[in-house]
Chains A and B, each alone.
Chain A
Amino acid sequence: MSALGAIMYREGKIRATNLTFIFWDLFYPLGYLLVFGVGMTQAMGMKPLAIGVDYNAFFLAGVLGMASFGIASNTAWSFFMDRDNGIFYEMLTYPMRRSEYLMGKGLFNLLISIGQAIVTVVLAQLVLDVPVRWASMPLLAGAVFIGTAGWFFFYAIFALTIRRNDLFNTVTSVFYFILLFASSMFYPVEPLPSPLRELSWANPITWHVDVLRYATIGLGDPSRIWLEGAAFLGFTGACFAGALVALKRQ
């Protein structure tokens, strides 16, 4: 068995020890869409947005992006768990490259994020009548996969550099606050006030969510979407390189 297979097997075994984890991972974006999306639509009496879609359809890509972001930060946090168990340093002596360790650790959870996206998108159409573009599902799968990987590598840099669990939690809280709200996750970027709008355009979450939105409901200018997709790929590559350097310094 390859090193990648072995580490995926290990991650899968650990996840499978508690099915609540897997259930939560698979269904929480849907829950968010139902509670937050439907709640906002009903409670605020929201009409279709100026861009021509209703809020549930708009927010579908937001919850998928949020799920990628959340699963990535949880996976990166597991480096702390491995360190506390002592197994982290033992694993660094196993016959695998540091890059394989990093990719393998993310890979199992990337598959979970794909499952999560399928459940969310299918039930969003069945329950909320979101007009899903089924022809774009390969693009959606790719965007979920690359998105979760990018955010995992991003968080891995901090998880491997910061030695304190509590400090890492503070860092993730700050990123959640800034990156999620200064982005196109909850609302369109265009009407935002100037500094927030510029910040949102420079935010990789916006690039990721815009691609997810194009893939789910076809919203967005294709030329800009491809540009944002390319920028996010570059971001993923840079984060992978950064995480690898951090891992090699352990």
Chain B
Amino acid sequence: MSGHAIVVRDLVKTFKRRGQPEVRAVDGLTFSVGRGSIFGLLGPNGAGKTTTLKVLTTLLRPTSGEIAVEGFDPVKNPLEVRRRISVVIQESAAELFLSVVDNFATFGRFHGLSPDTIRARTEDVLDQFELRADAHRKVMDLSGGFKRRVQVAKVFMIDTPVVFLDEFSTGMDPILKRSVMARLRQEAARGRTIVLTTQILSEAEDLCDDILIMKGGRQAARGDIHTLKLLSGGLFEISVTFADAPREIESAMAAYRPLRIEVSQNTALITVRGEESSVLDMVAHLGRLGRVLRLEVSGASLEDIFIELTAAGRLEVS
């Protein structure tokens, strides 16, 4: 257990509402997260990601199961867990009536930082999150994206060993998002454990060392990005751009039973499962439909795997 920041065994969380059947939001989930790793919890809406995160962060009591965050049980020792975590919840959360710097100051005080440390770290995050120009404005006067910056920036004020980020990049522009992702990698390299949920799968693909895909409160798949891609079992993505898009492309490809065809302007994006020889036949067929300007064949993306796993039946992964 010493190498794991988080250990979860047979976690179950049910919700009962009067006059309605019991809902099993999390149904026998088991996983562990290594120290210093970036762990992605993915799944469609209602898969149980946020419920799992709420249990781990002491916001919800589990119905059953064993949990340890940095060795402490969130039910028996919630305070010890809270001393070791920082959390960016899914909803926008900031002290709207306080200025940006006062938001950092109050957060720092809750986490026991001295005034000098608060000042130094405030300087750091103001630059990192490009908030210096707004440092003394009340958060209520900032746009939604800037409010989110303040919320995420707080995580970098403190040194808790575990960081939970629920949809952290909502409202961030691509440049800032890239900078925050780089900082998250640095934090992980320093030994902090990052647990994140996201709907933006490219983000998880870029960032996560370890990914758990949930569906219906259970594990649908688990592994690093390369392991997950192996699960795709011959899933290919073909992107082809024609000089003039042929009209009959969908009917022409129907014989290959593609999982998805999206045609936009002169470009067709096709996802197909099959043997390599069959994919090569398909590419040749595409070449006969019209003049090809650009052609790219790649293995499945995380998004393809995600859609396949969560839209179809549950996959057992060893």
Residues of A within 8 A of B (CB): 1, 3, 5-7, 9-10, 13-14, 17-18, 85-87, 89-97, 250
User: B98 on the interface (CB 8 Å rule)?
Assistant: yes
Q: Which residues of A contact B97 (CB under 8 A)?
A: 14, 17-18
Q: Are B94 and A86 in contact (CB under 8 A)?
A: yes
Q: Contacts A13-B102, A86-B89, A90-B89 given: A95-B79 contact, CB under 8 Å?
A: yes
Say yes or no: A90 contacts B87, CB within 8 Å.
Answer: yes
Task: Tell me if B138 counts as interface (CB < 8 A to partner A).
Answer: yes
B82 to A96, Cβ gap below 8 A? yes
Pull 24 A–B residue pairs with CB atoms less than 8 Å apart, ordered by A. Answer: A1-B109, A1-B112, A3-B110, A5-B109, A9-B106, A10-B95, A10-B106, A13-B95, A14-B95, A17-B98, A85-B95, A85-B96, A87-B93, A87-B95, A89-B59, A90-B87, A90-B88, A90-B151, A91-B110, A93-B58, A93-B82, A93-B85, A95-B83, A95-B112
Residues of A contacting B106 in the complex (Cβ-Cβ under 8 angstroms): 6, 9-10, 13
CB distance from B62 to the nearest CB of A (A): 14
**When chains A and B are docked, how far (Å) is the Cα of A9 from the Cα of B91?**
24
User: Considering the chains assembled together, what is the distance between the CA atoms of A6 and B57 in angstroms?
Assistant: 20
In the complex the two chains form, is A89's CB within 8 Å of B98's CB? no
CA distance in complex: A152, B141 (Å): 30
Looking at A7, A9, A13, A95, the one whose CB has the most chain B CB atoms below 10 A away is A95
**Cβ contacts B90-108/A at 8 Å (1 or 0 each):** 0111111110001001100
Of A85, A96, A97, which contacts B110 at CB under 8 A?
A96
Closest to B59 in A: A92
Is the Cβ of A85 less than 8 Å from the Cβ of B93? Answer: yes
B82 nearest in chain A by CB position? A95
Interface centre among B59, B79, B85, B110 (most CB of A within 10 A): B110
Given contacts A1-B109, A9-B106, contact A93 B57 (CB under 8 A): yes
| A17/B138 contact (C-beta < 8 A), A9-B109, A93-B59, A95-B111 known | yes
Question: What's the Cα separation between A46 and B194 when bound, in Å?
Answer: 71
- Residues in B neighbouring A87, C-beta threshold 8 A: 93-95
Cα A18 to Cα B138 in complex, Å, equals 12
User: B109 — which chain A residues lie within 8 A by C-beta?
Assistant: 1, 5-6, 9-10
**What B residues does A5 contact at CB under 8 A?**
109
**Extra 8 A-B pairs, beta carbons < 8 Å, given A10-B109, A18-B97, A95-B82:** A10-B110, A13-B105, A13-B106, A17-B138, A87-B95, A93-B57, A95-B112, A96-B82
Q: When chains A and B are docked, how far (Å) is the Cα of A95 from the Cα of B71? A: 16
Shortest Cβ distance from B58 into A: residue: A93
Closest Cβ neighbor of B139 among chain A residues: A85
CB distance from B193 to the nearest CB of A (A): 15
Instruction: Report the minimum CB–CB distance from B203 to chain A (whole Å).
Output: 21
Question: What is the CA–CA distance of A95 and B85 in the complex, to the nearest angstrom?
Answer: 9
* Distance, CA A5 to CA B138, complexed state (A): 23
On chain A, the residues within 8 Å of B110 by CB distance are 3, 6-7, 10, 91, 94-96
- Chain B residue at minimal CB-CB distance from A250: B59
A84 to chain B, nearest CB (A): 9
Per the bound structure, the CA–CA distance linking A96 and B81 in Å amounts to 10
Do B111 and A86 have beta carbons less than 8 Å apart? no
Q: Which residues of B lie under 8 Å from residue A86 when comparing CB positions? A: 89, 91-94
